[in-house]
Amino acid sequence: MHVVLVGPPGAGKGTQARGLSATLAVPHISTGDLLRALAGASTELGRELAGILSTGALVPDTITNEIVRRRLSEPDARAGSLLDGYPRNRTQARALDTALAAHGRELDRVLELVLDDEIALTRLLSRGRGDDTEAVIRHRQHLYRTQTEPVLEHYAGRVVTIDADGTVEQVAERALRALREE
C-alpha cells in the first residue's frame, strides 16, 4: 500500500508516519528528513539546500523528485511506502504518479491531517527546529495552503481526512481507522 500523508506544518505528519510505517510494515519516506540529511553535507548541494531549508521555501522540484524516485526504486519500497512531506505541489504529484507507474503501482491513499494554523504554530515553536521561527513557519503555512492543498484535488476520491488535534495516540487511532475503513 502506497500512502501519502498531507497536512500543514506542525500537523504531526512525521510522528504519525513513524507509527503507521511500523503498523503497515512499509518504509517511512520523509523528504524533509532526506533533504536535511543532504543539507548537512559540506558539498555545494548541501550548502544550497541548507540555505533553502532555513527560509522555508520549497527545494526545486527537479531535486526533490529525483530523490524520491530513487528512494522508491529501492527494494523495501516496492510493496508500499508511507510518504511524508511529498508531494508538496501538483508537479511533484505528477512525478510521483510516474515514479510509481514505473513499478506498475499507483498511489492507494492520501491521508489528510487537518489542524488549525495557530495550534500548529504553538506546537512548532515548542519543537524549536532550525526552521521553526514564527516568520518561517508562517511562510511554510502559506505555501501549504497555496501549493500543497491542490494536491488533494489531484488525488480526489483517494483522500481520507482526519482531525489532527488530539494526543499522538488519539490521532494514530483515527489514522488507522481511516485507512482501514476504505
CB of 181 to ligand ADP, least distance (A): 25
Q: Confirm or reject binding of residue 121 to ligand ADP (CB under 6 A).
A: no
CB of 146 to ligand ADP, least distance (A): 14
Give me the phi and psi of 145, to 5 degrees please. Answer: -65, -40
Q: Where would I find the H helices in 31-106?
A: 31-39, 44-55, 61-72, 90-101
Exposure b/e, 82-117, CB count within 10 A at least 16 = b: bbbbbbbbeebbebbbebbeeeebebebbbbbebeb
The residue range among 51-59, 95-103, 152-160, 172-180 that interacts with ligand ADP, by the rule CB under 6 A, is: 51-59
Q: Euclidean distance between the first and final Cα of the chain, in Å?
A: 12
Q: Confirm or reject binding of residue 31 to ligand ADP (CB under 6 A).
A: yes
Q: Confirm or reject binding of residue 19 to ligand ADP (CB under 6 A).
A: no
Q: Confirm or reject binding of residue 154 to ligand ADP (CB under 6 A).
A: no
Cα 64 to Cα 19, 40, 122, 144, 171: the distances in Å are 24, 16, 28, 16, 28
Q: Confirm or reject binding of residue 52 to ligand ADP (CB under 6 A).
A: yes
Q: Confirm or reject binding of residue 140 to ligand ADP (CB under 6 A).
A: yes
Q: Which of 6, 17, 28, 56 binds ligand ADP (CB under 6 A)?
A: 56
Q: Which residues bind ligand ADP (CB under 6 A)?
A: 9-10, 31-32, 35, 52-53, 56-59, 64, 85-86, 88, 92, 131, 140
